[in-house]
């Protein structure tokens, strides 16, 4: 960071939990006549943005996260649609970065693109950043992702990701996918859990690894001021134990995206309860799908 740039001081005291002040776009009865933006942008604070993709563009409607530090920003996940005409992710991110830099000028500001895991609904927009200047795009598959964080040599380490005064703590959390990574941000208190924990269907690829990762997340979260546990989808309805059908593009009765450390404990207890039983196991705020894992 240039000596002329005014440094931003992050995480000087424990973050205060407050609801996300947003009504998420959730599709419409007719995708053809949907008028939602391709990407909804929610500013949680001046340095933290959450984006949601339009369900009429892709039913997965994943959430993406853009966090700013003094030296660089990180975009976590790139959504479910490659075509910028339908998913103008780079345009939106470039505008957000330009606006942020207008308020906080500094030369040589960079963008880092990372992922919660490598499923296509989290990586489809990668190509939009392949030729972006001042950008590092880290591959989402296990080998490049784990090498970046140092998980290839020590899968149990807590990797520190310094954005310039804003230092994220990152864990390898395989189970849903062998490349799954979580991100903890001390500035907001957000614990980003990808598709490992969210209000929806928790698909398990590796049951033993999933259980270990949930245990690790619970232990990690109990030692930090976590304000919200944030996954990348909403698939449940407000009716306890009832999710929307796969492929649904209209979800008018969604619960909040934000979950709690107690939800992590509930998933932990559910894992123990499910045990060796395969199949689909609904709980009040999530569904464990152990069809294949």
Per-residue model confidence as pLDDT tens digits over 62-73: 999 999 999 999
Where does the pLDDT of residue 2 fall: very low under 50, low under 70, confident under 90, or very high at 90 and above? very low
pLDDT at 222 over 50: yes
Counting residues of the chain whose pLDDT is more than 70, the rounded percentage is 99
φ/ψ (deg, to 5) at 264: -60, -45
- Residue 14's CB: how many other CB atoms inside 10 A? 11
Q: Which residues of 190-217 are buried (b: 16+ CB within 10 A; e: fewer)?
A: bbbbbbbbbbbbbbbbbbebbbbbbebb
Per-residue model confidence as pLDDT tens digits over 132-143: 999 999 999 999
pLDDT at 5 over 80: no
Beta bridge pairs of residue 289: 203, 280
pTM of the model: 0.97
pLDDT at 4 over 70: no
Where does the pLDDT of residue 3 fall: very low under 50, low under 70, confident under 90, or very high at 90 and above? very low
Q: Give dist(CA 117, CA 171) in Å, integer.
A: 12
């Amino acid at each position: 960071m240039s000596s002329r740039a005014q440094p931003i001081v992050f995480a000087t005291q424990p973050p205060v939990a407050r609801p996300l002040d947003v009504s998420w776009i959730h599709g419409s009865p007719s995708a053809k006549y949907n008028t939602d933006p391709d990407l909804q942008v929610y500013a949680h604070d001046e340095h933290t943005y959450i984006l949601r993709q339009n369900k009429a563009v892709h039913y997965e409607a994943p959430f993406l996260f853009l966090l700013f530090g003094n030296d660089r920003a990180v975009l976590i996940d790139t959504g479910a649609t490659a075509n910028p005409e339908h998913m103008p992710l780079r345009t939106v991110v470039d505008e957000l970065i330009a606006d942020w830099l207008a308020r906080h000028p500094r030369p040589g500001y960079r963008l880092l693109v990372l992922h919660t895991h490598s499923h296509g609904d989290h990586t489809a927009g990668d190509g939009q950043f392949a030729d972006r200047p001042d950008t590092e795009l880290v591959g989402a598959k296990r080998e490049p992702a784990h090498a970046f964080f140092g998980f290839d040599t020590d899968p149990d380490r807590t990797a520190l990701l310094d954005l310039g005064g804003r230092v994220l703590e990152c864990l390898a959390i395989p189970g849903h996918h062998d490349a799954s990574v979580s991100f903890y941000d001390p500035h907001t208190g957000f614990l980003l859990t990808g598709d490992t924990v969210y209000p929806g269907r928790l698909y398990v690829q590796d049951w033993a690894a999933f259980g270990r990762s949930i245990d690790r997340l619970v232990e990690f979260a109990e030692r930090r001021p976590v304000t919200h546990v944030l996954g990348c989808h909403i698939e449940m309805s407000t009716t306890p134990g009832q999710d929307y059908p796969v492929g649904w593009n209209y979800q008018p009765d969604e619960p909040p995206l934000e979950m709690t450390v107690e939800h992590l404990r509930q998933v932990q207890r559910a894992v123990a309860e499910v045990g060796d039983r395969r199949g689909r196991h609904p709980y009040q705020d999530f569904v464990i799908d152990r069809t294949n894992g």
